[in-house]
Structure 1
Amino acid sequence: MRYFLNILLAIVLTMTGCTRAHAADRKYALQIMKRVFGYAASVDTVGLKAQESYAYLKYDIRTNKRNCLLLAIPTMYAIANTGVREHVGETYDRVVMKRPGDMRLTQMLERNTIPYGMRTMPTVLKYLTPLIYEELLIDGRIISPFHPCNRRFYRYKVSHFMRGAVIVSFRPRLKNTKLVRGWARIEESTGRILETSFDGEYDMVRFHVTMTTGDEGVKTLMPAQCNLNIRFLFLGNDITAEYTTVYDLPKKLPDSVQIVNRRDTALLNLVRPIPANSHEQYLYSRYYAARDARQADTASQRNKTRLWTKLLWKNVGRRLVMRTRRKFGTHEQGNFRISPVLNPLSFSYSARRGLTYKFDIRGSYFFNERQALQLRFKTGYSFKQKQIYFDFPFTFYINQRRNAYIRTEWSSGRHIYNSELMDAIRLERKDSIDWSRLNLTNFSVHSFKAVAHYDPSSHWGLELGIVSHKRTAVDDNSFNLLGRKDSYNSVAPIAELTYRPMGYNGPILTIDYERGIRKFMGSDTDYERVEMDGQYKHHLSALSYLQLRAGTGFYTHKGFGSYFLDYSNFRESNIPGGWNDDWACTFELLNSQWYNASKYYVRANAAYETPLLLLSWLPIAGRLIERERIYINALSVKRLNPYIEYGYGFSTRAFSLGWFVAQRNWRFDGIGVRMNMELFRHW
């Protein structure tokens, strides 16, 4: 009996010792992680001035497998349309850091072996500047394991490494594309990250990042050297690449040296901190030899058919599948961007509009830090509605610091439905007419708007201008049959007062006033309208936010010829954007006729977004869910009191999808789906 009691006592003492040891280890691990989470706040950044340094990048891209689908992927056109399977390149950049996490790179020197001098997969360059202490690790995409707000997403394990340093291993609590796993070597006394390595997968790219941080001050918050290995797999295509970046390099080129040719090999040899190895030298030599051989050929010796084929692929083919971006001007102060003609991002689908095709052109020119010109031409076509839309705003910034600008906007294609005109005609004509055969309610709207805006402070804004609408009957034959005109014009002075209680980063409250004056500049409509609107996007943490909107509008006067009800803040979006453009705080299932059916409206919209909500917890497929949203939209208008929409949506690397259910006067009113392509949006 005594023997068994001794054994039991030994077991109890051992378990007690293990429990105490485990508790001590846990307490030690918590202390280490507390130091890691608090290190960034301990670094003095008060009064930090912009710091200038230089950075060097070299890369090696290998095409292991490819097929014709690679041609359709943005920025992959160059390596898809060549017989060479491996390309190398290097760049030398000027870096200006205004504050931790804000690094502006200006390319000074560059050379590579990619055809046409094009860039390939520029999106992966974001992985070379990880912001380890920020809430979002890489370009607002990946949730950092080293920020205190993100502790709920990760599990940590602390191990002794050597005197004065420990190893912290981290892994996600849930497998998801927004999370990473890896380790970090930590300075034990301060919690400073000396070195870290992590793996993940995002936007069709599997990546492995290894980085070391700077030695002192603010530099300890930023990478000193970063190595990146990526693998891109897509429907039989297999691309791998290696990138190495060295930061905080001293200035090696004297001011007397003028860079005339950005591809000057001699200058690159002077600034390169990492010598080119024999394999890289071989690839450069092969590229230059092939280029010199092509230039040595005379025009008569070239195969004209082959030449035209190459020109077609280079100048036409890539424009169909790739964004066109160009800079112009002496100091590249101007730029423009044209969306690809044929690309998955050009299409979206909703139950009400059907399949929609979109095309977008943007351009800007900066005269100086305050003055600039900006323009945009956005067009779309709805295959179900058989309608073409376009919107063309043009803005001249007089003083960007005060948000002072003059803007003109021309838009067309939007349809407005109104029954008041038909009712007025029926009262005038007492004869018997088969009204069902006539289309007297559908009008196409052409609009022009010119405004001047100025913000006297960050809290207030004032806008004055004029707006003109020309509403033309879609079926002019019906109006000609009745002897009535088929178009109606309105011209109205407008004013908008904006109030931002918390400045530019808080809620926005606006009051809009519009007064249509009959016989003013050809106007045949007399009306007065007031609208009030409030919007607020409250950022929570780790890509989570709550977006709110509420507003009302009403007509205070409707005079002669005022048949149309047309609001500024309550109207249908005819050219739908992607997930980040207009999915939140809009009515997805509301019939377009209700936007113009009441002398008043009251609306309220709310959307909550987070990266890990419902579907993210599903096995296998859940790891691909990037973001999820819950929607609630409510509306009150005449004969529709209330109208409510409930929705749920999610976004993946390939597409966004949302389901919506509607209630009309507390009764079920339908269900619908909206889908938008997201594939290669960041490429």
Structure 2
Amino acid sequence: MKRILLLLYIISTVLTANGHEYSDSVLLERIFSFQRNYAHDVNGFSTNVYLKHLYNTKRRNATLWLIPSMYPLAKGQRKFLSEQYNHFTFNDVDNYDNLNQVFYTTIPRNKHTMSTLFCYLTPDLYNETIYDDHVLSPFNRYNRLFYKYTTTDLGNGKIRLDFRPKRVMNTQLVKGQAIVNYATGRIEQIELNGEFDMISFHTISTQGDHGARALMPQLCITDVTFKFAGNNITSHFEVAYDCPTTLPDTMSLKINRQLMDSIRPFSLSEEEELVYQHFDSLRHAKKHNDSIKAVMPMMLDKHSNASDRTWDMLGENLFSKTKSSTENGYVWLSPLLDPQYISYSKSKGLSYKMRLGAHYEFSKKTCIDFNPKAGYNFKLKQFFFTAPIRLEYNHKRRGYLDLIVGNGNRLSNQYTLNEIAAIDGEDSQWLNEDLHIFRDLYAQLKNYYMITPWLGIEGGVTFHHRRSQHAAKLGSFGIENDYKSLAPSVSVKLRPWRAAPVVSIDYERGLKFDKFNLPYERWEVDASWKRRMHRLQVFNARIGGGLYTLKKVNSFMDFTNFRDNNLPEGWDDDWSGNFQLLSSSVYNESKYYIRGNISYESPLMGLSFIPLLGHYIERERIYLSSLLINQSRLYSELGYGFSSRYISMGIFAGFRNIEYQEIGCKFTIELFRRW
């Protein structure tokens, strides 16, 4: 009897050790806890990294020109090889400083291409997102509700964990399998399949074995496929960490084939060797042609150089972001033709904008930034610009001096129409014209300093010059058509604790002297709160109000926190906290306002679960905004928006109290936003 009981105990133990019952719960918990229990913080960890890319252009057409960083592949050879040897110093797994020490490529003029692939170098398996701010990891406990897991015992304490999305294969989710150490929950090898932002990827990664290395790959091999408008490009890249050769940190970038051959940690494949052989034969042919041109140097050389310069100029300036860097700073310019800078809304119509950025560091504590942006609104037929320049003189206390110059928003002055009606009659033809529209040129000089971590003070002065678009006609009626104001201001910003809302109290007083004919006094209070939650969820809330306690000229209400924006920033900055259907005239006609805005954002909410369509939805958002101004009922907007690889779009409905008023939409083009 004892032998039978012992045999039954051994059988039950074996079944328990090899069954799914313990694997699906205990194993997942150990994976979710592995980083906290076993792995060291990677902050300060450094390693030598070798990277090689093989590009193969299977099909291409003229649209390849329009894609940022892809123009080197738009003509010429169809296969290219690039190699890099870098030194990485990690702050965390997806945030590291990259010192590029050796580089070699067969792409003409040593160009880079498909720069978006670099975010796939180091998959962060235990974080909520695997790549930067996208693709939810199946190995993080907060994402567990999106995935279905099955396990297979491989013996020797190894478990194969298969994972796939529970519902639809959304672009923020992946499927694949992992080999996991059951005792610790350490992922030893991982295979991922997914698709994000025009890229389909298949990744096989072997992870490190202990400490900080266990959080990062030891060898990562990724195959990607890019298909768009008939183009078909594949790339195979391999990344090896902990390479044995350490180069001096002071060594500047070397474009050197012989040096790369000497430090490469493993051999090239046969296909890669053929790419180099073909490249070498072309170089040899070019040298032969150069020797011929030494005898007849005229037309061929000039034509070739001119063609190369034209190609670079078009590719780098027309369709790609241009950036130039020095040791202490950089300058960049957005592409001249970039679909992501096109936006449309019912109230503002179609608009297009461009951006420029410049940064220079005088020291570790002092730097200067210049970030102007400009745009044209086709509905208003007006060019808008704002040119802020910031001198930061105390990084620890966030001390900075701002100078901002711009032409502001168009302002409507309904009192002008009342004056015209009083002079020319209620049926005056001029009441149907835009005589009440003024343009605004402004300049602001402000200084901010954080006295304590929870208290900051900003003081400054603001100048406005508001002039009618039809100054001569208003002058013929004897109506004022030119206003200037000069106003000192002070703002107090409070944040009692880190997770608390940011509260600001603003006061501005317009002076009256000499040619400054617009005295006023304005107060505003505003509180904004952004809460980033798990699974890429974000909750935004904003409430505030303002009023004029002095206004001798009943026009040009110009609030700081309640204003129209003709140069919107996009999905994250502009689509929460603003009213999308509100007429621009409302912003400067009321002596007071009380407003509230809330929004909730999530990558998987509604449309994401619809088959086919849901595959491409990256994020979704719902909005509720309300506004109270004088001589008007409560105005509210209810909206829903989504962001995809192609566009971001929102649909909004407006209400007066509970009475439906109108519906409208807004969209911006997101195509190749991350490229």
* TM-score over 0.5 (shorter chain): yes
Q: What CA distance in whole angstroms lies between the structure 2 residues aligned with 1:218 and 1:447?
A: 52
2:19·2:153 contact (CA, 8 Å) conserved in 1? Answer: no
For 1:128-527, what aligned pairs fall within 5 Å after superposition?
128-174=121-167, 175-253=169-247, 259=251, 262-291=254-283, 293-294=285-286, 296=290, 297-298=293-294, 299-300=297-298, 302=300, 304-328=302-326, 331=327, 333-423=328-418, 434=428, 436=431, 439-503=434-498, 506-519=500-513, 522-527=515-520
Question: SS at 1:41's partner residue?
Answer: helix
- The match for 2:621 among 610, 624, 629 is 629
Question: SS at 1:268's partner residue?
Answer: helix
Is 90-99 or 266-275 further displaced after alignment? 266-275
For 1:649-664, what aligned pairs fall within 5 Å after superposition?
649-664=641-656
Deviation at 1:243, TM superposition (A): 0.6
1:252·1:271 contact (CA, 8 Å) conserved in 2? Answer: no
Question: SS at 1:50's partner residue?
Answer: coil
Is 266-275 or 303-312 further displaced after alignment? 303-312
Task: Return closer, same or farther for 1:64/1:592 CA change in 2, 3 Å cut-off.
Answer: same
Question: SS at 2:136's partner residue?
Answer: coil
Q: What CA distance in whole angstroms lies between the structure 1 residues aligned with 2:45 and 2:70?
A: 35
Q: Does 1:619 align with 2:611?
A: yes
Q: Which residue of 2 aligns with 1:4?
A: none
Q: Does 1:541 align with 2:534?
A: yes
Task: Return closer, same or farther for 1:437/1:356 CA change in 2, 3 Å cut-off.
Answer: closer
Letter in 2 for 1:239: I
Deviation at 1:23, TM superposition (A): 12
Letter in 1 for 2:160: I
Deviation at 1:240, TM superposition (A): 0.6
- The match for 2:551 among 558, 573, 582 is 558
Deviation at 1:530, TM superposition (A): 0.7
Question: SS at 1:137's partner residue?
Answer: strand
Q: Deviations over 1:109-154 (max 9, x none)?
A: 1111112322111111111211100001111110000000000000
Question: SS at 2:191's partner residue?
Answer: strand
2:555·2:589 contact (CA, 8 Å) conserved in 1? Answer: no
Q: Which residue of 1 aligns with 2:580?
A: 588
1:526·1:562 contact (CA, 8 Å) conserved in 2? Answer: no
Deviation at 1:161, TM superposition (A): 1.1
Is 381-390 or 25-34 further displaced after alignment? 25-34
Deviation at 1:242, TM superposition (A): 0.6
Q: Does 1:42 align with 2:27?
A: no
1:525·1:562 contact (CA, 8 Å) conserved in 2? Answer: no
2:416·2:479 contact (CA, 8 Å) conserved in 1? Answer: no
Deviation at 1:172, TM superposition (A): 0.5
Question: SS at 1:160's partner residue?
Answer: strand
Letter in 1 for 2:492: L
Is 172-181 or 312-321 further displaced after alignment? 312-321
Deviation at 1:316, TM superposition (A): 2.9
2:93·2:122 contact (CA, 8 Å) conserved in 1? Answer: no
Letter in 1 for 2:256: D
Letter in 1 for 2:68: P
Task: Return closer, same or farther for 1:93/1:465 CA change in 2, 3 Å cut-off.
Answer: same
Task: Return closer, same or farther for 1:23/1:549 CA change in 2, 3 Å cut-off.
Answer: farther
2:555·2:588 contact (CA, 8 Å) conserved in 1? Answer: no
Letter in 1 for 2:414: S
Letter in 1 for 2:648: S
- The match for 2:104 among 98, 111, 118 is 111
Task: Return closer, same or farther for 1:277/1:593 CA change in 2, 3 Å cut-off.
Answer: same
Consecutive unaligned residues of structure 1, counting only runs of 5 or more, are 1-16
Deviation at 1:218, TM superposition (A): 1.9
Q: What CA distance in whole angstroms lies between the structure 2 residues aligned with 1:277 and 1:28?
A: 39
- The match for 1:52 among 43, 46, 52 is 46
Q: What CA distance in whole angstroms lies between the structure 1 residues aligned with 2:231 and 2:454?
A: 52
Deviation at 1:261, TM superposition (A): 5.4
Q: Deviations over 1:519-577 (max 9, x none)?
A: 17x42111110111111111121111111111100111123x46321101100110123
Letter in 2 for 1:591: S
Identity %: 33
1:252·1:270 contact (CA, 8 Å) conserved in 2? Answer: no
Q: What CA distance in whole angstroms lies between the structure 2 residues aligned with 1:227 and 1:377?
A: 41
Q: Which residue of 2 aligns with 1:14?
A: none
Q: Does 1:674 align with 2:663?
A: no
- The match for 2:58 among 47, 55, 64 is 64
Letter in 1 for 2:72: A
Q: What CA distance in whole angstroms lies between the structure 1 residues aligned with 2:454 and 2:633?
A: 35
Letter in 2 for 1:224: Q
Question: SS at 1:414's partner residue?
Answer: coil
RMSD between aligned residues: 2.3
1:387·1:413 contact (CA, 8 Å) conserved in 2? Answer: no
Q: What CA distance in whole angstroms lies between the structure 1 residues aligned with 2:23 and 2:253?
A: 56
Q: What CA distance in whole angstroms lies between the structure 2 residues aligned with 1:501 and 1:432?
A: 55
Q: Which residue of 1 aligns with 2:80?
A: 87
Q: What CA distance in whole angstroms lies between the structure 2 residues aligned with 1:369 and 1:656?
A: 38
Q: What CA distance in whole angstroms lies between the structure 2 residues aligned with 1:115 and 1:506?
A: 52
Letter in 1 for 2:635: Y
Q: What CA distance in whole angstroms lies between the structure 2 residues aligned with 1:387 and 1:100?
A: 46
Task: Return closer, same or farther for 1:22/1:663 CA change in 2, 3 Å cut-off.
Answer: farther
2:52·2:237 contact (CA, 8 Å) conserved in 1? Answer: yes
1:496·1:512 contact (CA, 8 Å) conserved in 2? Answer: yes
Q: Deviations over 1:373-418 (max 9, x none)?
A: 1111211111112111111100111022211111100111510112
Deviation at 1:627, TM superposition (A): 0.8
Q: What CA distance in whole angstroms lies between the structure 2 residues aligned with 1:133 and 1:96?
A: 19
Question: SS at 1:647's partner residue?
Answer: strand
Consecutive unaligned residues of structure 2, counting only runs of 5 or more, are 1-11
Q: Which residue of 2 aligns with 1:608?
A: 600
Q: Does 1:645 align with 2:637?
A: yes
Letter in 2 for 1:227: I
Letter in 2 for 1:681: R
Letter in 2 for 1:325: K
Q: What CA distance in whole angstroms lies between the structure 2 residues aligned with 1:28 and 1:570?
A: 55
2:39·2:214 contact (CA, 8 Å) conserved in 1? Answer: no
